[in-house]
Structure 1
Amino acid sequence: MAANLDETDNFQPGFDHDGLIPAIVTDARDGTILMFAFMNAESLRLTQETGIAHFWSRSRKSLWKKGETSGELLEVAEILTDCDQDVLQVKALSQGRGASCHTGRRSCFYRRVEGSKLVFTDNVRLFDPKTVY
């Protein structure tokens, strides 16, 4: 089946047994990884229809429009899938102040792993989460 998916022009997202597909969100301008989340069929449909990123929250078990509370919407420039269509890459343009992380930072990936320690690589907050959430 994978060989068929490798060369087809039909979008057949490979949702897992929970109905989810991983989505890596990158900045459409410079390729920086902004965040990682999951989509279900409804959030993927809404993303495609509205051009604004929607995801499925596993912890809240609900649909969420990224940035609905914070104003940090993600405008979708392009959605790509990997060869066997079980992972998505969402290339997006950050709206608002440019923060994609709930901590107020541009990216959720702001710490480097060094052994058992974490080293901050970005400690600039574009908004204060205490005042937003």
Structure 2
Amino acid sequence: MTIWQTLEEADQSDSFPLEDILSAIPWNQDGLIAAIAQENDTKDMLMLAWMNKEALIETLSTRQVCYWSRSRQSLWRKGETSGHVQHLIDARFDCDGDALLLIVNQQGAACHTGRPNCFYNAIRGEQIVVTCSKPNNV
């Protein structure tokens, strides 16, 4: 039985060593896991990014969200240059351990465009509708 199957059968408040979970994550071929950031207060989905084990451990230890930048091939500490940091409130794996939900307090915009979140392109029938404007100062 895998750790994920054990977790499926677990009762509320059961606990398991973090290292057991980290070693069982089904990292993709690049050593990454999808991480979705959700705003704690509004429950808005802010963004999707990727984490490697180092980014995840740093995030858990510092409570400041750190991702893996696939384009730069380096750690990406959210807000390092923009000041728009994400403070980690809670981190949760999905049922089979291949995605991570990060519940955060977002300071400033989550999206590099300056928008509050990255999910501003809504599908409306046969059209894509932009749901919020890009700020003038970006």
Q: CA RMSD in A?
A: 1.7
**Alignment match of 2:70 (pick from 52, 58, 64):** 58
Distance across 1 between alignment mates of 2:119 and 2:91: 20
Aligned residue runs from structure 1 range 35-50, under 5 A = 35-50=47-62
Query: Any idea what SS the aligned residue of 1:99 has?
Result: coil
Of 100-109 and 116-125, deviating more is: 116-125
Bigger Cα Rg: 2
Q: Name the residue aligned to 1:3.
A: 5
- Mapped contact 2:122–2:131 kept (Cα < 8 A): yes
- How far did residue 123 of structure 1 move? 1.3
**Alignment match of 1:114 (pick from 97, 101, 124):** 124
1:74-112 residue CA offsets vs partner (Å, 9 max, x unmatched): 0011101111111100000012xx200000010000111
Query: Any idea what SS the aligned residue of 2:57 has?
Result: helix
Distance across 2 between alignment mates of 1:6 and 1:115: 37
- How far did residue 18 of structure 1 move? 1.3
1:25-54 residue CA offsets vs partner (Å, 9 max, x unmatched): 000112100000000000001101111000
Of 73-82 and 4-13, deviating more is: 4-13
Does residue 91 in structure 1 map to residue 103 in structure 2? Answer: yes
What TM-score do you get using the length of structure 1 for normalisation? 0.85
Q: Which amino acid aligns with 1:104?
A: G
Paired residue total: 126
Q: Which amino acid aligns with 1:119?
A: V
Distance across 2 between alignment mates of 1:128 and 1:37: 24
Q: Quick one: percent identity of the two aligned structures?
A: 40
Q: Any gaps of 5 or more consecutive residues in structure 2?
A: none
Distance across 1 between alignment mates of 2:110 and 2:121: 15
Q: Any gaps of 5 or more consecutive residues in structure 1?
A: none
Distance across 1 between alignment mates of 2:52 and 2:78: 14
Which aligned segments of 4 or more residues in structure 1 are displaced greater than 6 angstroms? none
- How far did residue 4 of structure 1 move? 2.7
